[in-house]
Structure 1
Amino acid sequence: MAETDDATAPRPASHGGAWERVDDEVVRFTRDLIRIDTSNRGGGDCWERPAAEYVAARLAEAGLEPAVLEAAPGRTNVVARVAGSDPSAPALLVHGHLDVVPAEPDEWRVAPFSGEVREGMVWGRGAIDMKNADAMVLALVRSWMRAGVRPTRDVVLAFTADEEDSAAYGADWLVREHADLFEGCSEAIGESGAHTFHTRSATGAPVRIYPVGAGERGTAWLRLSARGTAGHGSKVNDDNAVAALAATVARIGQHRWPVRLTPVTRAALAELGRAVGVAADPEAPGFDVERDLPELLERLGPAAELVRSTLCNSAAPTVLDAGGKINVIPATASAGIDGRVLPGTEAEFEATMDALTGTRVEWTYAHRSIPLAAPVDSPTFAAMRAALRAHDPGAHVVPVCLSGGTDAKQFAALGITGYGFSPLLLPESLDYGALFHGVDERVPIEALRFGVRVLDHFLRSVA
């Protein structure tokens, strides 16, 4: 069976000739953007300008007036506004980033920046994260402009730089230097949500879940440092910075963080239970997290993976840096820790890091961003659910907290509530999670066409 075959899944509805150009453009734009190498290697090493110029040109062709904004040479962002029919309605921000993580060509079946079409899919770095979504937005807005369609709310489009690093040249800079461009925006949609997650019910029936991002763990990237007495490696040295740091890193890596069920995760557990047909009510009297949660997760089956990484805080050792010669004990040693923090647990996270590092090792924030939570009972969330169900009547739409972070964190500084909503209809044989930052990243053409239709439905119906 081909990867795009799934007998139980719906197909995007045919809307005749009005959609033919959109269907062609969303594929072409995805391929074109993938071919523009915008690999972000961190530390300022990225060049988004060609992709930004491409996006701006496509918007200008449609009659919009995009602002092309550079935080530094080559670190380019694009912002445009589509006027809505109701000037009194709050605006909606639709954001997507133009940079991608690097790819090692030798590991791929196709050249990662080729945009090749194979097996009914577009292949290449950014096919999932997230040039596909950028292309969907471009194709949809251009179709609106051709047909004279106006959404109810103003729709502000932001195509950003530097999301794959710290957002310092992208959303963070836009929020600080060009906040006026987002005037009136109360809510936003962005990446990491509304893709098909396939599982089975308690009776074995196929179930399609669409997780929508309604929260994010905060980012807490830490730098650990230890100081000691330098000396010869052959001498006894009880003040060894490397040894002190290594012991601390091991404690952090072995620490088991306590479960903290946020409101979004509680809602997710209840919705997942309904989707797969098992009782799941973490609000029930007598529900004990330590006693009852492990059994509940087991009964949810594969669907539990949608919440497992956001049940608690985390701190993963990722970088070690010490010394330069085997027979020399260095005076300093450092490490990097990728910490992720649930809403409402920032103080607990810091206290835990103080305890784990003790007095021998110091820690500081190398980069920090706030955790987020969005209401799951809002009209906007209801409109996202309705749009997905309109194009997949069997969809189970579930709010989730994202384990990582997006540009929604930066836009939150302007009071904008963010959701992860980049709809894709995926076959059961395609592992969406493995494609993020992974090898052989690819997106089915049918998924792109489905996504454009769902976005159209949502953006034209949300009030």
Structure 2
Amino acid sequence: MTQPTAQSDTAAAGPSDEVVRICQELIRIDSTNFGDGSGPGEREAADYVVAQLREVGLEPTVVESQPGRTSVVVRLEGADRARPALCLHGHLDVVPANSADWQVDPFSGELRDGCVWGRGAVDMKDMDAMILSVVRHLARTGTKPPRDLVVAFFADEEAGGVHGSHFVVDHHPELFEGVTEAISEVGGYSVTVPTADGTPSRAYLLQTAEKGIAWLRLHAQGRAGHGSVPNHENAIVRLSEAITRISTHPWPREYVASVRQLLDGLSDLTGVAWTDEDAEELLGHLGGAQGFVRGTLQDTANVTMASAGYKHNVIPQGATAAVDCRFLPGHEESLMATIRELAGEHVEVEVVHRDIALDAPFDGPLVEAMKAALLAEDPDARVLPYCLSGGTDNKALSKLGITGYGFAPLRLPADLDFAPMFHGIDERVPVDALDFGARVLLRLVQTC
């Protein structure tokens, strides 16, 4: 293990002084993950991270699952090595961006209107930059965190982590020796809601749970034939009927504990009551974040891709579609049984990728430390738990018994529609929010 390099200059730049620069430089590295093995991979971004760590005297471990699919892990020694270690982790890949849809070049890292713009500004090179700036500050100043700190930057999160977090956990579990808790993306950002007396108030959503993933492919089989001849065994029709049944299926609502706590907390803030049968008015106060919350009220299944045929006058014998299913904790088997029933006898259901749901408690020393770090910077705010409709690399770390939370702290303007920018266009993060997040994250790792 490499020890941080102590320097006499304790007035060295703090995390807030370089977090924007690091975020911009990471965005300018195209690390697009198309999910099919194509794309540039994460190697250039990983090399950048390694250089930033080595510059302050750290020597990280580099793990490559395949050429170009690169993850980086480094450990900082804590003051009390008998305590369980904490992991901070992010992913280096981003989803594709069509530059024609954007106001700016998605890989420019442009500063505009007080924000850093570009693919990854929200998901999740903003948090990568906060982590890097905090770690560099600790190493540069010779500051030991209270306990060992394991920092990881993974490849391939946007395609399920097979070549990233899952590979590292499966092949190099020793890198996480002694780690019991982890912090990563999505949670920790603020939403502004009206209180009962009409004044606005910020609530920070700390992610304590996340739905499981089932990425499926539907294969419809039929009888090939001439496009002019009636055909009651048309594979495209069979597939479309299965898609219609799946897309119109009324998945029953179930409010898991984290969702109930979130809605109860929002109800206290806003004065708006809710019931299991009617939470619409309350959800409306969440603005753009309500989509994420609505996605946690039941299991979901969305068709995302379809493919069939090869000529206008030929009825094909096969047709396929991709379905992105997300299930609540404990619902995996029931969701799969429902999908197979809805698909019908002529459509095979193939499992492309599966991963577990997670549910962590909204209490304990780490949660209290996260709350305290936020409230020290924004004392009038509330911190509430929530369940993520998507997934994170915490799923892979859970195989090592590590409890994961989503905590990328950002104090956001009330008029910024932040949550829809995850995988959306014109991703951007306010400079002030990055500064805020770096201060909160530093306070957290120095006190937990």
Distance in 1 (CA, whole Å) between partners of 2:319 and 2:368 is: 51
* Residue 355 of structure 2 is aligned to residue 369 of structure 1: yes
Aligned twin of 2:250: 256
Aligned twin of 1:172: 166
Letter in 2 for 1:258: P
Partner of residue 408 from structure 1, selected from 394, 407, 411: 394
Distance in 1 (CA, whole Å) between partners of 2:256 and 2:295 is: 13
Distance in 2 (CA, whole Å) between partners of 1:246 and 1:51 is: 41
State the Cα distance separating 1:19 from its structure 2 match. 7.6
State the Cα distance separating 1:213 from its structure 2 match. 0.8
Q: Do the aligned residues in 2 keep the contact of 1:318 with 1:335 (CA within 8 Å)?
A: yes
Partner of residue 407 from structure 2, selected from 421, 427, 436: 421
Aligned twin of 2:306: 320
Aligned twin of 1:38: 31
* Residue 181 of structure 2 is aligned to residue 187 of structure 1: yes
* Structure 2 counterparts to residues 383-398 of structure 1, below 5 A: 383-398=369-384
Aligned twin of 1:284: none
Q: Secondary structure of the equivalent of 1:226? A: strand
State the Cα distance separating 1:23 from its structure 2 match. 2.4
* Residue 285 of structure 2 is aligned to residue 302 of structure 1: yes
Q: Do the aligned residues in 2 keep the contact of 1:313 with 1:341 (CA within 8 Å)?
A: yes
More deviation, 331-340/293-302: 293-302
Partner of residue 329 from structure 1, selected from 306, 315, 337: 315
Aligned twin of 1:229: 223
Task: Give me the CA root mean square deviation.
Answer: 1.6
CA deviations on 1:235-292 (whole Å, 9 max, x unpaired) are 2222222111110111101111001111211222222222323456xxxxxxxxxxx3
CA gap of 1:352–1:19, structure 2 versus 1, over 3 A, is: farther
Distance in 2 (CA, whole Å) between partners of 1:226 and 1:376 is: 44
Aligned twin of 1:293: 276
Distance in 1 (CA, whole Å) between partners of 2:320 and 2:106 is: 34
Partner of residue 130 from structure 1, selected from 100, 107, 124: 124
Aligned twin of 1:359: 345
Aligned twin of 2:64: 70
CA gap of 1:279–1:246, structure 2 versus 1, over 3 A, is: closer
Give aligned-pair identity as a percent.
50
TM superposition score normalised by structure 1:
0.91
Q: How many residues align?
A: 435
CA gap of 1:419–1:19, structure 2 versus 1, over 3 A, is: farther
Letter in 1 for 2:21: R
Unaligned ranges ≥5, structure 2: 1-9
Distance in 2 (CA, whole Å) between partners of 1:446 and 1:18 is: 22
Letter in 1 for 2:43: R
Distance in 2 (CA, whole Å) between partners of 1:423 and 1:326 is: 52
State the Cα distance separating 1:297 from its structure 2 match. 3.7
Q: Secondary structure of the equivalent of 1:252? A: helix
Q: Secondary structure of the equivalent of 2:442? A: helix
Q: Do the aligned residues in 2 keep the contact of 1:207 with 1:276 (CA within 8 Å)?
A: no
Runs of 4+ in 1 over 4 A off after TM superposition: 17-21
State the Cα distance separating 1:129 from its structure 2 match. 1.0
Q: Do the aligned residues in 2 keep the contact of 1:94 with 1:158 (CA within 8 Å)?
A: yes
State the Cα distance separating 1:147 from its structure 2 match. 2.0
Q: Do the aligned residues in 1 keep the contact of 2:53 with 2:59 (CA within 8 Å)?
A: yes
More deviation, 323-332/336-345: 323-332
Aligned twin of 2:4: none
Letter in 1 for 2:26: L
CA gap of 1:439–1:116, structure 2 versus 1, over 3 A, is: same
Unaligned ranges ≥5, structure 1: 1-16, 281-291
Aligned twin of 1:382: 368
CA gap of 1:299–1:429, structure 2 versus 1, over 3 A, is: closer
Aligned twin of 1:269: 263
Aligned twin of 1:159: 153
State the Cα distance separating 1:18 from its structure 2 match. 4.6
Q: Do the aligned residues in 2 keep the contact of 1:189 with 1:421 (CA within 8 Å)?
A: yes
Q: Do the aligned residues in 1 keep the contact of 2:12 with 2:140 (CA within 8 Å)?
A: no
Q: Do the aligned residues in 2 keep the contact of 1:273 with 1:300 (CA within 8 Å)?
A: no
Q: Secondary structure of the equivalent of 1:321? A: strand
TM superposition score normalised by structure 2:
0.94
